[in-house]
Structure 1
Amino acid sequence: MTKTFCTILTILLFASCSKDSTEPETTPSESMYFPPITGNTWETKSIADLKWNQSAVQPLLDYLQLKNSKSFIILVNGRIVLENYFNGHSATTPWYWASAGKTLTSTVTGIAQQENLLNINDKVSKYLGTGWTSETLAQENLITCKHLLTMTSGLDDSTDDVEPANLKYKADAGSRWAYHNVYVKLQDVVEKASGQKWESYFNSKLRDKIGMNGNWVQIDVNSVYTSNTRSMARFGLLMLNKGKWENNTILNEAYFNEATTTSQNINLGYGYLWWLNGKASYHLPQSQLTFQGSVIPTGPSDMFMALGKNDQKIYVIPSKKMVVIRMGDAADNQNLALSDFDKTLWEKINALYQ
Structure 2
Amino acid sequence: MKLLPALLLVFLTISCSDPETVEPSRPDDAVLYFPPIDDRTWETTTPASLGWDESKLAELYSFLENNDTRAFILLKDGKIVSEKYWGKDLLERFDFDSNSQWYWASAGKSLTSVLTGIAQDKGLLSVDDATQDYLGVGWTSMPAGQESRISIRNQLSMNTGLDFTNGNLSCTDPACLNYKSDPATEWYYYNAPYTS
Which structure carries more strand by proportion?
1
Larger radius of gyration: 2
Q: What TM-score do the two structures reach when normalised by structure 2?
A: 0.49
The structure with higher relative contact order (CA 8 Å, sep 6+) is 1
